[in-house]
Amino acid sequence: MANVVVIGAQWGDEGKGKIVDWLSARADVIARFQGGHNAGHTLVVDGTVYKLSLLPSGIVRPGKLSVIGNGVVLDPWAFVEEMRALREQGVAITPETLMIAENTALILPVHGELDRARESVNTVAKIGTTGRGIGPAYEDKVGRRAIRVADLGDGPTLEARLDRLLQHHDALRRGLGLVEVDRGALKAGLEAVAPEILPFAAPVWKQLADRRRAGDRILFEGAQGALLDVDFGTYPFVASSNTMAGMAALGTGMGPGAVDFTLGIVKAYTTRVGAGPFPAELHDADGQRLGERGHEFGTVTGRKRRCGWFDAVLVRQTCETSGVDGIALTKLDVLDGFERLRICTGYRLDGAEIDHLPIAADQQARVEPIFEEMPGWRETTAGARRWAELPAEAIKYVRRVEELIGCPVALLSTSPEREDTILVRDPFAD
Q: What confidence tens digit (pLDDT) does each residue in 309-324 have?
A: 999 999 999 999 999 9
Catalytic residue set: 13, 41
pLDDT number for residue 292: 92
Q: What confidence tens digit (pLDDT) does each residue in 289-301 have?
A: 999 999 897 655 6
Q: Report the 10 Å Cβ neighbour count for 46.
A: 7
Report yes or no: 423 and 263 within 8 Å, Cβ to Cβ: no
Helix, strand or coil, per DSSP, at residue 79: helix
Nearest of 33, 29, 44, 2 to residue 330 by alpha carbon: 44
DSSP string, 334-353: GGTT-SEEEEEEEEEETTEE
Q: What confidence tens digit (pLDDT) does each residue in 144-193 have?
A: 999 999 999 999 999 999 999 999 999 999 999 999 999 999 999 999 99
Report yes or no: 233 and 7 within 8 Å, Cβ to Cβ: no
Nearest of 205, 195, 190 to residue 67 by alpha carbon: 205
What is d(CA 214, CA 391) in angstroms, rounded to the nearest whole number?
44
pLDDT number for residue 131: 78
DSSP element (H, E) containing 368: strand 368-375
pLDDT number for residue 417: 82
Helices 183-197, 76-88: crossing angle, 10 deg rounding = 40
Query: Does residue 126 surpass a pLDDT of 70?
Result: no
Task: Give 288's strand partners.
Answer: none
Task: Give 44's strand partners.
Answer: 49, 417
- Strands annotated E in 16-92: 29-32, 41-45, 48-52, 65-68, 73-74
Nearest of 167, 396, 367 to residue 268 by alpha carbon: 396
pLDDT number for residue 197: 98
Cα Rg, the chain, nearest whole Å: 22
Could you tell me the CA-to-CA distances from 90 to 47, 60, 410 in Å, in that order?
Answer: 14, 9, 32
Pairing of strands 270-272, 105-106: unpaired
Q: What confidence tens digit (pLDDT) does each residue in 373-419 have?
A: 999 999 999 999 999 999 999 999 999 999 999 999 999 999 888 78
- 22 — pLDDT class (breaks 50, 70, 90): confident
Q: What confidence tens digit (pLDDT) does each residue in 314-352 have?
A: 999 999 999 999 999 999 999 999 999 999 999 999 999
DSSP element (H, E) containing 3: none
Q: Report the 10 Å Cβ neighbour count for 355.
A: 12
Classify residue 179 by burial, with Cβ atoms within 10 Å: 0-12, 13-18, 19+: exposed
Query: Does residue 122 surpass a pLDDT of 70?
Result: no
Q: Is the dihedral of CA 233, 234, 239, 240 positive or negative?
A: positive
- Strands annotated E in 9-106: 29-32, 41-45, 48-52, 65-68, 73-74, 98-101, 105-106
Nearest of 104, 61, 83 to residue 201 by alpha carbon: 104
Pick the residue with more confidence: 48 or 268?
A: 268
Pairing of strands 218-221, 352-354: unpaired
What is d(CA 418, CA 44) in angstroms, rounded to the nearest whole number?
7
pLDDT number for residue 39: 66
Helix, strand or coil, per DSSP, at residue 370: strand
pLDDT number for residue 49: 85
Task: Give 5's strand partners.
Answer: 220, 262
